[in-house]
Structure 1
Amino acid sequence: MPKIYTSEKDERVIDNVLKKGLFAPGPKWTVLRIALAISLRIPTEPSDELDKGIKGGSEYSFEQLTGESQKPDYTDSFCALLSVYHQKDLFKNIDQYRIYLQRHARRGLREIRTAWKESHDFHEYLYQELFSNLISQQQKMDEDIEKQVKSALSEIGVKAEIRNIVKGPRLTRFYIYLPNINDLDRLQKGLDKISFYLGIGKHRVFENMTDKPRIIGLDVPRPASTWHYFTGGDLREWAADPPSDYILPVWPGVDVLGEPICFDLAEAPHLLVGGTTGSGKSVCLHALILSILHNNYNSNLTLCLIDPKAVEFSQYNGLKNLYNDEIVTEVFDAHNLLSELVTEMSKREQKFAKSNVTNLTEATLAGITGLPRIVVIVEELADLLMQKQDIEGPLIRLLQKGRSAGIHLVLATQRPDSTTFSGLLRSNVPSRIALTVQKSTESKIIIDETGAERLTGKGDMLCRWLGKSVIRIHGVHIRRDDIASSLKEISRGQINGDR
């Protein structure tokens, strides 16, 4: 009889769900079926990496998992679901059916492990995961929130009309007409009161100035159960048609109305990404990395990944773009890498001077070859600075002069504070992304203004790109399967990969 297998980590998730989520000593296959349902909600196929790493776990027969030969028997139902999902007739290939069943069950367990906190109600978590897009419920919510916004404006003494309502992925924008322009100040000063009236907790209603007379937009966050996420599949679609004049196009996500936002990292020319644990900082980095690889996979790009955690960037091992064919995890090696890049920068400057050009773009046009763009991405800069303070020296030099040499740095941290990040370092990183932070002072350190402490989390961010005003973006929701499938497509040349 066919069987599926789980790992030791998988078994711990199953036990935790039974003991701390369902509070019942029920059969383990109950949790496996829940995990299967969660996985089938994810649009991207589960990665074949879920066929590996099965140690210290258990095995489950189809009789247990699908009820094969039992009453009720869901074997055919499960096979039909997976056949539709994968667009394959799995009734003719029982081995492939078993493989997909195992991948989905294990992926669902992984999602539970990363998304559900034991201190939170498991039933509410399932409701959000499985039933969050009920149309009738959303329509009622929309009607209720419109009434509440009108009442809130009246409460703070603002006479206004709601002229239009536009729903974005996470927010609803109300276009408010103010007959009396003196009400604008009253409205702006009353945003916290409106947020309090609407009961949206620590999150805040943001204002958005428009180009229409007497019209202002109010962005009101909705419950997480109504959010629409953009995934790695969306990122691949955007990357297939990049702006022709961008050298290193990156897509961190979409604006509040759902339009994809693209920046040129080469023009940044460096980027600071900050956000507390759980804000989506690491997911944001994955979106940036995949964006870069989609259009620069071949010899015109070198990627330097520094990961003190030694886990976040592990999936990129084996990329031909990697500097020295490795991901750096030790602080001593990171210092050596940055020092080597300083030397490389000096060599390039000398070569440019001899050829009478000033930067890498001009050098390329002049026919100088063999000088790839270099992108350095540091997963947790604060850890490096605390372990080895003199690492700031080569960092500053690269930040100050790296742009012309085609060297660009993306520095990420979950602890943005003035002690760790000196003014000299921050002043040389002109582009910033602030995800959710704990305090307004941390928001100021990242983007020079408050606001990030009032974001909704999970990839919600405020971006200040060089020469542009702050824009709010909802990040692409990148999963491990998205990374695996994207890397396969890129390496096969199925996405741009070589511009």
Structure 2
Amino acid sequence: MYKLIADLWHTGALGLHAFWERCRQFKPDDDLAQRQAFLNELAELAVKNSRGRQSMGKNSFSDSLHAENTETPDAACIKLKTALDKTVGKGGTIQPEYGGVRYDCLRVQFDRYVDLEKYHSQICSELGIGDNEMRCGRICGEANTWHINILRPQDTWRQYGQDEFQTALQQYRASARQFRLPVCIGLDERGEPVFQDFATAPHVMVGGETGSGKSVLIRSMLASLFELAPQNETEIVVCYCKVSADFAVFKDRPNLWQGRIVSDAEEAAEILSSFADEMDKRYRLMDEYGAKDIAEVPQHARPKYVVIVIDELADLIDVSSEAEGHLVRLAQKARSAGMYLLLATQRPDAKTLSGRLRDNLPTKIALKIGKRQSSEIILGERGAENLTDKGDHLVKWNNGVAQFLHGYNV
């Protein structure tokens, strides 16, 4: 039963709490009976859901490893252990953890130090899968222990669309978190939404090739900002520097800057210039009140927080020779003035993202790209070249450790 509970934890703590409350009401004066009823009902739910997932066939560990006549996680573990024995050498203990959004997740502990990344391609070859179909990561705090996640066939992926996204926003509203600018940056492999405070970013760079899911990811980030950030305290500027309907859904939002989406690159460059001037005005206002941050300015005199979104950045840089200078100025100083940047491009090269600009964009998000060099430009490290598409991305929030997430299809 404990294994089933762990396997089904993605169904949510709220559901478990509801079960417990019903059991308490059923036997209000008998603590032991409450606990027994709770465990019985939970076990029945877990078994029912477990059968439902097993009935999906290709969603099992065995199918995800392309094994023939194999139907159990134990058999999948044996297949992986055989591959590890042939490549790394004997000594690894393997346990299945859970079936994730797109990956089946296993835990491997070796009896010695092993640089598993060194053997990545060999292990994939033994399993009969592509190099980008397996993800590995060392588990900190546990000696010689790794996560190994194996990509399942696409028709077995769990889908997260508009309904699931709205549920994630409701979960945030019901939580105790109080971010200044709440933004949903995706969901983890267990299907749990991941939120960050855009004000701590404080500036974000997003890169991904055509078809990687970049615009969809930005749309979900914007949707969460429009939904969750205080409308009377926040203004969002959206510049999409080419003709497209990708962001038309936001045109009626009350806190959209000037009530429109800017689609002309030359106008976007002029807007950046005006916001650079606005930043200087805000610094003078902060000096007037002796404030180090715009949040310290009294409420009656405090201007709104501003998020400036530029997509597609390369078009803007091509059109305006002054745009990069404005962006660098804003990236260097705008945080204290309550102004934040979200810059996105499908051309993550040195021309579009100069060293001066990259150095002042501490939060990086990389979707699928074709070249290792592009991953290094976005993230400062390899990895994005091995992503699948469909919205999978790596996030380094404010120069933190890269986190692997999936995107909502909204």
Amino acid at match of 1:141: D
Question: Which residue, 130, 137, 143 being the options, matches 1:213?
Answer: 143
Aligned residue in 2 for 1:141: 63
Question: Which residue, 247, 260, 269 being the options, matches 2:193?
Answer: 260
- The percent of aligned pairs where both chains have the same amino acid is 32
Determine the C-alpha separation between the residues in 1 that align with 2:129 and 2:185.
25
Determine the C-alpha separation between the residues in 2 that align with 1:196 and 1:362.
58
Residue by residue over 1:13-49, the C-alpha shift from the partner in whole angstroms, topping out at 9 and shown as x without a partner, is xxxxxxxxxxxxxxxxxxxxxxxxxxxxxxxxxxxxx
Amino acid at match of 1:203: N
Q: Is contact 1:306-1:378 (8 Å) kept?
A: yes
Determine the C-alpha separation between the residues in 2 that align with 1:330 and 1:304.
13
Question: Which residue, 235, 253, 257 being the options, matches 1:319?
Answer: 253
Q: Offset at 1:238?
A: 2.5
Change (3 A) 1:205 1:415: same
**Is structure 2 residue 375 aligned with structure 1 residue 443?**
yes
SS of residue in 1 equivalent to 2:58: helix
Aligned residue in 1 for 2:238: 305
Q: Is contact 2:237-2:307 (8 Å) kept?
A: yes
TM-score normalised according to structure 1 size: 0.65
Residue by residue over 1:214-272, the C-alpha shift from the partner in whole angstroms, topping out at 9 and shown as x without a partner, is 32111222211111122222222232324533111111211123222111110000000
TM-score normalised according to structure 2 size: 0.79
Aligned residue in 2 for 1:348: 282
Determine the C-alpha separation between the residues in 2 that align with 1:199 and 1:387.
47
Determine the C-alpha separation between the residues in 1 that align with 2:392 and 2:129.
15
Residue by residue over 1:332-380, the C-alpha shift from the partner in whole angstroms, topping out at 9 and shown as x without a partner, is 21011111111111111101101011112222xx334451110111111
Aligned residue in 1 for 2:126: 197
SS of residue in 2 equivalent to 1:244: coil
Aligned residue in 1 for 2:28: none
Residue by residue over 1:56-109, the C-alpha shift from the partner in whole angstroms, topping out at 9 and shown as x without a partner, is xxxxxxxxxxxxxxxxxxxxxxxxxxxxxxxxxxxxxxxxxxxxxxxxxxxxxx
Aligned residue in 2 for 1:456: 388
Kindly report which structure 2 residues correspond to 1:310-389, keeping only aligned pairs within 5 A, or say none: 310-311=243-244, 312-363=246-297, 366-389=298-321
Aligned residue pairs: how many? 342
Kindly report which structure 2 residues correspond to 1:16-165, keeping only aligned pairs within 5 A, or say none: 135-139=56-60, 140-141=62-63, 143=72, 145-159=76-90, 160-165=92-97
After TM superposition, what 4+ stretches of structure 1 lie above 6 angstroms from structure 2?
Answer: none
Q: Is contact 2:214-2:367 (8 Å) kept?
A: yes
Q: Is contact 1:133-1:225 (8 Å) kept?
A: no
In structure 1, stretches of 5+ residues that fail to align are 1-131, 479-499
SS of residue in 2 equivalent to 1:251: strand
Determine the C-alpha separation between the residues in 1 that align with 2:385 and 2:109.
28
Question: Which residue, 109, 115, 127 being the options, matches 1:177?
Answer: 109
Amino acid at match of 1:218: I
Aligned residue in 1 for 2:9: none
SS of residue in 1 equivalent to 2:143: coil
